[in-house]
Amino acid sequence: MGNQKIESRDSIIVRLDALIRLLIEINKGKDGFSDATAARALRSAGLTPTEIAKILGKKSATDVAPYLYSKKKTKS
Protein backbone atom coordinates (compact mmCIF):
# COMPACT_ATOMS: atom_id res chain seq x y z
CA MET A 1 0.00 0.00 0.00
CA GLY A 2 2.93 2.37 0.69
CA ASN A 3 4.20 2.09 -2.87
CA GLN A 4 0.81 3.14 -4.25
CA LYS A 5 0.95 6.33 -2.19
CA ILE A 6 4.44 7.11 -3.50
CA GLU A 7 3.41 6.46 -7.11
CA SER A 8 0.28 8.58 -6.68
CA ARG A 9 2.31 11.41 -5.16
CA ASP A 10 4.87 11.21 -7.98
CA SER A 11 2.17 11.39 -10.64
CA ILE A 12 0.65 14.42 -8.93
CA ILE A 13 4.05 16.13 -8.87
CA VAL A 14 4.54 15.43 -12.58
CA ARG A 15 1.16 16.92 -13.40
CA LEU A 16 1.74 20.00 -11.24
CA ASP A 17 5.16 20.51 -12.85
CA ALA A 18 3.48 20.33 -16.27
CA LEU A 19 0.89 22.92 -15.26
CA ILE A 20 3.56 25.26 -13.93
CA ARG A 21 5.55 24.87 -17.16
CA LEU A 22 2.44 25.59 -19.23
CA LEU A 23 1.76 28.77 -17.26
CA ILE A 24 5.36 29.85 -17.75
CA GLU A 25 5.18 29.26 -21.51
CA ILE A 26 1.91 31.19 -21.77
CA ASN A 27 3.44 34.18 -19.98
CA LYS A 28 6.78 34.28 -21.80
CA GLY A 29 7.29 37.55 -23.59
CA LYS A 30 4.71 39.38 -21.49
CA ASP A 31 6.27 42.30 -19.65
CA GLY A 32 9.74 40.75 -19.74
CA PHE A 33 8.67 37.38 -18.32
CA SER A 34 11.32 34.77 -19.11
CA ASP A 35 12.89 31.56 -17.81
CA ALA A 36 15.04 33.73 -15.54
CA THR A 37 11.99 35.46 -14.09
CA ALA A 38 10.21 32.12 -13.68
CA ALA A 39 13.27 30.55 -12.02
CA ARG A 40 13.54 33.37 -9.50
CA ALA A 41 9.80 33.17 -8.75
CA LEU A 42 9.97 29.41 -8.26
CA ARG A 43 13.02 29.80 -6.02
CA SER A 44 11.18 32.37 -3.89
CA ALA A 45 8.37 29.82 -3.55
CA GLY A 46 10.83 27.41 -1.97
CA LEU A 47 11.70 25.11 -4.86
CA THR A 48 15.25 23.80 -5.18
CA PRO A 49 17.41 24.49 -8.25
CA THR A 50 16.98 20.84 -9.26
CA GLU A 51 13.18 21.11 -9.09
CA ILE A 52 13.28 24.38 -11.02
CA ALA A 53 15.47 22.86 -13.72
CA LYS A 54 13.03 19.97 -14.10
CA ILE A 55 10.06 22.32 -14.44
CA LEU A 56 11.86 24.52 -16.97
CA GLY A 57 12.95 21.52 -19.03
CA LYS A 58 16.65 21.96 -18.30
CA LYS A 59 19.11 19.10 -17.83
CA SER A 60 20.37 20.02 -14.36
CA ALA A 61 20.47 22.59 -11.60
CA THR A 62 23.62 24.10 -13.11
CA ASP A 63 21.54 25.14 -16.13
CA VAL A 64 19.36 27.40 -13.95
CA ALA A 65 22.12 28.57 -11.60
CA PRO A 66 22.87 31.70 -13.68
CA TYR A 67 19.24 32.77 -13.21
CA LEU A 68 19.34 32.24 -9.45
CA TYR A 69 22.77 33.40 -8.37
CA SER A 70 24.27 36.67 -9.45
CA LYS A 71 27.94 36.74 -10.24
CA LYS A 72 29.98 38.74 -7.79
CA LYS A 73 31.58 41.71 -9.41
CA THR A 74 35.29 41.96 -8.84
CA LYS A 75 37.23 45.18 -9.03
CA SER A 76 40.15 45.06 -11.40
More reliable by pLDDT, 9 or 62: 62
2-57 pLDDT, tens digit per residue, is 777 777 888 899 899 999 999 999 988 888 888 999 999 999 999 999 999 999 99
Residue type, 56: L
**Angle 49-66-24 (CA atoms, 0-180°, nearest 5)?**
65
What is the per-residue pLDDT for 29? 83
Residue 57: what are its φ and ψ, rounded to 5°? 75, 25
Residue 1 has pLDDT above 60, yes or no: no
pTM over 0.85: no
**Cα dihedral sign, 45-51-55-59:** positive
pLDDT confidence bin for 62, thresholds 50/70/90: very high
